[in-house]
Amino acid sequence: MKNRLKVLRAERDWTQAQLAEALEVSRQTINAIEKGKFDPSLPLAFKAARLFGLTIEELFQYESASMS
């Protein structure tokens, strides 16, 4: 699953640690999501989308290749 987390975070001049604190997760989790190594749960995806004032679809893009 692709996402725009890194771009949106950079636009707001937030660090990974600040975003992690806002979403109540560890900095490692933010880093793993940004790098596409870890897909967040639906509640966390909603929380992130709400934080950026976007819909989930605007923040995360589903890729069928990631099914494997």
Partner 1 sequence: MKTQMETRTWAERVSHSSLRLGIWTLLWLITLALATFGPLFLWPGQKAISGIAVVINLAVGIGMILAHIRNLKNQDELQQKIQIDAMALSLGAAVIGGISYSLLDITHLIGFDAEISHLVILITLTYVLAISAGKRRYR
Q: How far is the CB of 49 from partner 1 (least distance, A)?
A: 16
Best CA proximity match to 49, nearest among 16, 8, 14: 8
Rounded least distance, CB 25 to partner 1, Å: 4
Round to whole Å and give the CA distance between 53 and 29. Answer: 21
Strand pairing partners for 61? Answer: 2
Which spans of this chain sit near partner 1 (rule: CB under 8 A)? 21, 24-26, 28-29, 31-32, 37-38, 40-41, 44
User: Which residue's CB is nearer to partner 1, number 25 or number 56?
Assistant: 25
